[in-house]
Amino acid sequence: MEEQNLPRREREKLRQRQEILAAALELFSQKGYHNVSMAEIAEKAEFAIGTLYKFFQNKEDLYKALVLEQCDKFEEAITRAIEQPGDEVEKLQNYVRARVERFLNNLSFIRLFLAERRGASFNIKAGLDEELRQRYYKFLERVASIFEDGIKNRRFKKTADPYYLAAALDSAIDASLLLWLEVPERHPDLDPDAILGIFFNGLLES
């Protein structure tokens, strides 16, 4: 990380900032932006209200920092997976596995993320919504390009526009993971490769 060689005071500050963000993440993901007060965040993080304002200009700023930071982590993890060497099948396998892993390690953020990525756009968060959308579309393009390459290399049939394929795969992952999260007793198996199987192996008996 970049914590390395900063003055002691600065490192301390960064750690405090992280603690506030952690408390906020937990609360926001449980109750949603509007149902969490600064007082609550302060109490959970064990700071005074005023202290929060030393780190963040206002509630919205705190929220943005939280979401963007988590997005960065998400993108880093997924990028690493996609950039492993291998053919398109392997890349997609790595992608789905990384998605699943990240999901399992970050349940609280996932709730927030899904709510944000697709939710109605709130005036109060104007700008963030648009930025997230843009980032998501760029990210989808990278997955789409795997499909595209696969088609070029005659490994995949062109069953649909690569971008739609990417969107479909990505949302199918979300759906499967949410299912597993919300009714685990009915759907115990969570096999990343099974999700891909839906796309690889056509349903129709030929």
Partner DNA sequence: TCAAAAAATGAATTAACCGTCATATTACAG
Partner DNA sequence: CTGTAATATGACGGTTAATTCATTTTTTGA
| Token code pair at residue 121 | 């756009």
Residue from 37, 84, 153, 159 touching DNA (CB under 7 A): that is 37
Handedness of CA 88, 90, 96, 98 (dihedral sign): negative
Which amino acid does the sequence have at 204? L
Q: Which residues contact 59 (CB under 8 A, 6 or more apart)?
A: 38
Q: Of 9-17, 77-85, 98-106, 177-185, which segment contacts a copy of itself by CB under 8 A?
A: 177-185
Measured torsion, CA atoms of residues 95, 128, 174, 111, in degrees rounded to the nearest 10 = 120
DSSP-assigned letter for residue 70: H
Q: Between residues 33 and 74, which has the closer beta carbon with respect to a copy of itself?
A: 33
Residue 163 sits in the site that holds DNA (CB under 7 A):
no
d(CA 131, CA 1): 25
Q: Between residues 55 and 146, which has the closer beta carbon with respect to a copy of itself?
A: 146
Name which of residues 62 to 121 contact a copy of itself (CB under 8 A).
89, 111-112, 114-115, 118-121
Rg (CA), the chain: 20
Residue 58 sits in the site that holds DNA (CB under 7 A):
yes
Residues in contact with a copy of itself by the rule CB under 8 A: 28-35, 89, 111-112, 114-115, 118-124, 133, 137, 147, 150, 154-157, 159-161, 163-165, 167-168, 170-172, 174-176, 178-179, 182-183, 186-187, 189, 194-195, 197-205
